[in-house]
Structure 1
Amino acid sequence: MKPGKEYDVIVVGGGNAALCAAISAAEEQARVLLLERAPEEERGGNTAYTEGLMRFVYDGAEDIVALSPDLSEEERKSDFGSYTEDDFFNDMARVTENRTDPDLCEILVRQSNRTIHWLRSHGLRFIPQFGRQSFKVNGRFKFWGGATLAVSGAGRGMVDYLYRAATRKGVDIVYDAWVRELQSSDRGVHGVVAQIAGQTTRLGARCVILACGGFEANTEWRTRYLGPGWDLAKVRGTRFNTGDGLEMALRIGAQPCGNWSGCHAVSWERYAENFGDFSVTDDYERDSYPFSIMVNSEGRRFLDEGADIRNYTYAKYGHIVMKQPGQFAWQLFDSSVSHLLRPEYRARRVTKVVASSIEELAAKIDDVNTEQLLATVREFNAAVKRDVPFDPTVKDGRGTLGLAIPKSNWAIPLENPPFEAYAVTCGITFTFGGLRITTEGQVMDQNHRAIPGLYAAGEMVGGLFYFNYPGSTGLTSGAVFGRLAGRSAAVAARTLQVQAAQ
């Protein structure tokens, strides 16, 4: 930031959505300032804690190879399938129980492919997720669940790519810049008040884009909006997403929108740190539960582990774990599926029990009713439809019969030692409540009018996700709506500049 420099657009935030907004605005010749609350070593918001996986529409292998041209000949023979616009629309409708905003959903879906190509044009590299989103079938990788490509280097790689792209585009970047207030008048928003390195500073601009995340790192807000017990949740990502952008926007009359009592929450290492930690966060997710049975402290199953492919249940199952006594559960695996567990189950930071019999396993597991656990396993084993073949790449229909809580797919009796059990709790990723925006990314007020000069992107966009979320849609949404907000804000700033000169 140069003293006295005038800016067309100020972007508040430092993750994927904010960076895409800044780059997009700079492409429109806007003078852009990006204010990242975190210090440089923690930059990137929640993006930095992700796998870098992005859900987008693609036709087949040719589309994947075009985005990831360095694949070997053997890798190119993988079964990438396809993911159509209809697939994406149907997934969004199904997992949100038909509540997703149709206009915003249409932008997300129809812009997803071209946005991925736009990111690649700015230097991002993509690679198929062979280890996490595919299984080998007859010696050939078969992808499942609609999420195929990730950014090389995962979330931190994505952050580094985007900061380099923003710098090349001339975006000024300031770290340790905590934005506390919007400057506004009857004419709309025209700047921010920020603490930069502890010094209160007023910064003017023709337009402001808020892309600084939800409120998942705010213990009080979690309890206020998500409900009792959510103060005890682990935060998977950045400690800086405390709802500041939402609060300052609501303070000037912005309209709240979406599922404010909902969030993305997963099964997470029971004894993880309270906030994301770059050195160990990749070790903490426990998403191979479709091949397990999950039991609570009472020794009872409490959900259908095989209701759907992991990508369509993992973001809501953390909620159910949170509701269990003590806010924890155990995932139990038979040795016949242990080779299918995701890499984080083999990480160094894991609460794990191994035993040669179910009786030994039950005795070793902490804080669980042993007798009821043994009864649960016996009941489950007897209910498995053993005549249906097991297939991890599709919903195989290998379920159970007669249980109060069924397992719909991938039901494997626990009878082949050694057995493994993993302790999990709830890890919150991001909150679903946000601000209402127009199809141009402009924030609306509570009189349903667009607020001049104010735009939003990323986790601050309300109305896309309700109750649940198709895996890997978050980064795509951030990039799509960041790009949209940046372009719209730059065009609006240019119009204001012309008007001021007349």
Structure 2
Amino acid sequence: MSNEYPLQYDVVVVGAGNAALCAGISAKEEGANVLILERGPQHKRGGNSFFTDGAIRTAFQNLDDIREIIPEMTDEEAARIQIPIYHAEDFYNDLMRVTGGKSDPQLAKYMTGQSTQVVKWMQRNGVIFELNENQSFEKDGILTFWGNLPLKTQNKGVGLIEQLNKRAEELGIDIWYQSRAVKLVEENNQITAIQIEQPDGVVTVRTGSVILACGGFEANKTMRARHLGSEWNAAIVRGTEYNTGDGLMMALDIGAQPYGDWAGCHSIGTDCKAPEVGDFSKPGDIYKKSSFPLGLLINKEGKRFVDEGADFRNYTYAKYGREVLKQPGGMAYQIFDAQVYPLLRKEYLIEEATFVKADTIEELADMLEVDKTQFLQTIREFNQAVQEGAYNPTVKDGKGTAGITPPKSNWALRLEEGPFYAYPVTCGITFTFGGIHVNTHGEVLGKEGTPIPGLYAAGEMVGGLFYDNYPGGSGLMSGAVFGKAAGASASRYVREKTQSAASQ
């Protein structure tokens, strides 16, 4: 392979996950000649998107919006589902609520306002959506959805990546595997080329623009320790091993503005026996454990440490992972009884799930690495604190506790019906919140706040959206929205530059 390629690509996209593929497809739709770079081999393509369960948060005006996205839904099926309407303003308010009002208002309004049209654009480009039944409960023959997350991609993240790659192939987009971008090249203060490390050596590809969409630094232990803290060395990496901050470092090296919550990340409670990095042979987010609002979280000391029922799981799970990491041994147990066991999400029922089961709570305590006396006291105090009220897992039912700390604000049932179950969980890091500053066109901003000509970013690299916490399903939506915007902007930039040069 030669060390120099001729100028043959209008747009080079770094990364091959949801954001990158949406960027490449969008740029191609605008007429650009596009190259996508995947650092891993073909059988490990797709970045973190490959490991998601495919849930994607989007606004919708009515059920007709959902049916346009899922055209296979029949009238009979539509009559048996109940989905609360979720306007763009609701999405925006949820994002602002869970981030404590810190999310960049311009970026937040753009993502939430574009979400419906972008999901429809994805569907037109071959992405198949279906109802996210993990976010529903059935009662009297009606499937009632909760948490404003009724959509997911068919066959989870695996299906999303397959479908987007199929569309990229149909459009004639080139994809290079085992191609790690290592350096952006500038001439006259604009991007003109990119250096790529391949098995046979480093090559330089000249290009009109570059879109960085290759993830955060969650798989880089050195950067995790520096920005998040040394305790994060113990966290399991839930996704790809290739998200080591390459794109962030390349952008910062040429003057991009760091932006957002560099000390924060998306992390969840995940099975203690989960692999240290994402296993491409067992994708689909199978190790997460997200039914904790229905039970109790108890550490090795036998104590509770969070309000399990503070909100629906998709508004708390991304911050409770770090709370588990803070506990002795970096782990805790999710405890359930027979009353709620039938309501647990599917990942609790698969053969990979680690758990212990006992007929009595005393027997369960004997099987766990806990302070048994304190564990049993915690259960007794919790049971005594549970207030009367109607239990309803489809809404925040207000059925809580009184007189204990932390409280359980919703879905509090006495833990008293055997058999009892304990699922050991640790912290799994998903993605980092810190990124670089982009505008709503996907343009990367330099330290003076002006765009760096020819440089764009999308996906996890967009800083300023998520702080401390995250509304479930927003990551895929952010990737698609800013990927589509970056692709269109990069293509237009190259076209206008070419037209300007031709006219001179």
What's the counterpart of residue 390 of structure 1?
391
Question: How far does residue 92 in structure 1 lie from its aligned partner after superposition?
Answer: 0.7
Show the 5 A alignment for 1:57-206: 57-77=59-79, 78-130=81-133, 132-206=134-208
Query: Is residue 364 from structure 1 mapped to residue 364 from structure 2 by the alignment?
Result: no
What's the counterpart of residue 332 of structure 2?
329
Q: What CA deviation, in whole Å up to 9, does each residue of 1:351-410 have, x standing for no partner?
A: 211001110000001x2111110110011011000x201100000111001002100000
The one-letter code sitting in structure 2 at the alignment partner of 1:21 is A
The answer as to whether partners of 1:128 and 1:150 remain within 8 angstroms in 2 is yes
> Alignment partner of 1:283: what SS?
coil
The one-letter code sitting in structure 1 at the alignment partner of 2:305 is F
The one-letter code sitting in structure 2 at the alignment partner of 1:97 is G
Query: Is residue 491 from structure 1 mapped to residue 496 from structure 2 by the alignment?
Result: no
Question: How far does residue 484 in structure 1 lie from its aligned partner after superposition?
Answer: 0.2
> Alignment partner of 1:147: what SS?
coil
> Alignment partner of 1:274: what SS?
coil
Once residues 279 and 244 of structure 2 are traced to their aligned partners in structure 1, the CA distance between those partners, rounded to angstroms, is 17
Which residues of structure 2 form unaligned runs of 5+? Answer: none
What's the counterpart of residue 296 of structure 1?
299
Once residues 479 and 283 of structure 1 are traced to their aligned partners in structure 2, the CA distance between those partners, rounded to angstroms, is 23
Once residues 66 and 24 of structure 1 are traced to their aligned partners in structure 2, the CA distance between those partners, rounded to angstroms, is 21
Once residues 66 and 251 of structure 1 are traced to their aligned partners in structure 2, the CA distance between those partners, rounded to angstroms, is 44
Q: Which runs of 4+ in 1 moved over 6 A?
A: none
> Alignment partner of 1:93: what SS?
helix
Which deviates more from structure 2 when the two are superposed, residues 315-324 or residues 277-286?
277-286
What's the counterpart of residue 342 of structure 1?
345
Q: Tell me which of 252, 255, 260 is aligned to 1:253.
A: 255
Q: What CA deviation, in whole Å up to 9, does each residue of 1:54-77 have, x standing for no partner?
A: 111112222111211212444212
Once residues 136 and 474 of structure 2 are traced to their aligned partners in structure 1, the CA distance between those partners, rounded to angstroms, is 18
The answer as to whether partners of 1:280 and 1:349 remain within 8 angstroms in 2 is no
Q: What CA deviation, in whole Å up to 9, does each residue of 1:206-265 have, x standing for no partner?
A: 110000000001111111111121011001110100000001111111100000000010
> Alignment partner of 1:426: what SS?
strand
What's the counterpart of residue 422 of structure 1?
423
Once residues 446 and 76 of structure 1 are traced to their aligned partners in structure 2, the CA distance between those partners, rounded to angstroms, is 50
The one-letter code sitting in structure 1 at the alignment partner of 2:419 is P
Question: How far does residue 5 in structure 1 lie from its aligned partner after superposition?
Answer: 5.7
The one-letter code sitting in structure 1 at the alignment partner of 2:486 is A
The answer as to whether partners of 2:68 and 2:120 remain within 8 angstroms in 1 is no
The answer as to whether partners of 1:283 and 1:348 remain within 8 angstroms in 2 is no
Paired residues in the alignment total 499
Query: Is residue 17 from structure 1 mapped to residue 24 from structure 2 by the alignment?
Result: no
What's the counterpart of residue 10 of structure 2?
8
Once residues 397 and 16 of structure 1 are traced to their aligned partners in structure 2, the CA distance between those partners, rounded to angstroms, is 37
Which deviates more from structure 2 when the two are superposed, residues 63-72 or residues 336-345?
63-72
What's the counterpart of residue 26 of structure 1?
28
What's the counterpart of residue 410 of structure 1?
411
> Alignment partner of 1:462: what SS?
coil
Question: How far does residue 449 in structure 1 lie from its aligned partner after superposition?
Answer: 2.0
Q: Tell me which of 306, 311, 315 is aligned to 1:308.
A: 311
> Alignment partner of 2:10: what SS?
strand
Q: What CA deviation, in whole Å up to 9, does each residue of 1:27-77 have, x standing for no partner?
A: 111111111111110101011001111111112222111211212444212
Question: How far does residue 159 in structure 1 lie from its aligned partner after superposition?
Answer: 0.5
Once residues 287 and 360 of structure 1 are traced to their aligned partners in structure 2, the CA distance between those partners, rounded to angstroms, is 25
Query: Is residue 212 from structure 1 mapped to residue 214 from structure 2 by the alignment?
Result: yes
Change beyond 3 A, Cα 1:198–1:381: farther
What's the counterpart of residue 480 of structure 1?
481
The answer as to whether partners of 1:238 and 1:276 remain within 8 angstroms in 2 is yes
The answer as to whether partners of 2:440 and 2:482 remain within 8 angstroms in 1 is no
The one-letter code sitting in structure 2 at the alignment partner of 1:303 is V
The one-letter code sitting in structure 1 at the alignment partner of 2:474 is T
The one-letter code sitting in structure 1 at the alignment partner of 2:378 is T
Once residues 198 and 49 of structure 1 are traced to their aligned partners in structure 2, the CA distance between those partners, rounded to angstroms, is 29
- Tell me the TM-score normalized by structure 2: 0.97
Question: How far does residue 137 in structure 1 lie from its aligned partner after superposition?
Answer: 2.0
> Alignment partner of 2:166: what SS?
helix
The one-letter code sitting in structure 2 at the alignment partner of 1:420 is Y
Once residues 301 and 353 of structure 1 are traced to their aligned partners in structure 2, the CA distance between those partners, rounded to angstroms, is 19
The one-letter code sitting in structure 2 at the alignment partner of 1:233 is A
Once residues 439 and 343 of structure 1 are traced to their aligned partners in structure 2, the CA distance between those partners, rounded to angstroms, is 37
Once residues 427 and 302 of structure 2 are traced to their aligned partners in structure 1, the CA distance between those partners, rounded to angstroms, is 18
- Tell me the TM-score normalized by structure 1: 0.97
Question: How far does residue 138 in structure 1 lie from its aligned partner after superposition?
Answer: 1.9
Which residues of structure 1 form unaligned runs of 5+? Answer: none
> Alignment partner of 1:55: what SS?
coil
The answer as to whether partners of 1:10 and 1:191 remain within 8 angstroms in 2 is no
Cα RMSD after superposing both structures: 1.3
Which deviates more from structure 2 when the two are superposed, residues 447-456 or residues 254-263?
447-456
Q: Tell me which of 328, 353, 373 is aligned to 2:375.
A: 373
The answer as to whether partners of 1:55 and 1:476 remain within 8 angstroms in 2 is yes
> Alignment partner of 1:216: what SS?
coil
The one-letter code sitting in structure 2 at the alignment partner of 1:481 is F
The answer as to whether partners of 2:7 and 2:207 remain within 8 angstroms in 1 is no
Once residues 441 and 62 of structure 1 are traced to their aligned partners in structure 2, the CA distance between those partners, rounded to angstroms, is 30
The answer as to whether partners of 1:194 and 1:202 remain within 8 angstroms in 2 is yes
> Alignment partner of 1:313: what SS?
helix
Once residues 350 and 26 of structure 1 are traced to their aligned partners in structure 2, the CA distance between those partners, rounded to angstroms, is 42
Once residues 264 and 253 of structure 1 are traced to their aligned partners in structure 2, the CA distance between those partners, rounded to angstroms, is 26
Once residues 178 and 102 of structure 1 are traced to their aligned partners in structure 2, the CA distance between those partners, rounded to angstroms, is 33
The answer as to whether partners of 2:13 and 2:23 remain within 8 angstroms in 1 is yes
Once residues 127 and 489 of structure 2 are traced to their aligned partners in structure 1, the CA distance between those partners, rounded to angstroms, is 23
> Alignment partner of 2:120: what SS?
helix
Once residues 264 and 273 of structure 1 are traced to their aligned partners in structure 2, the CA distance between those partners, rounded to angstroms, is 18
The answer as to whether partners of 1:257 and 1:463 remain within 8 angstroms in 2 is yes
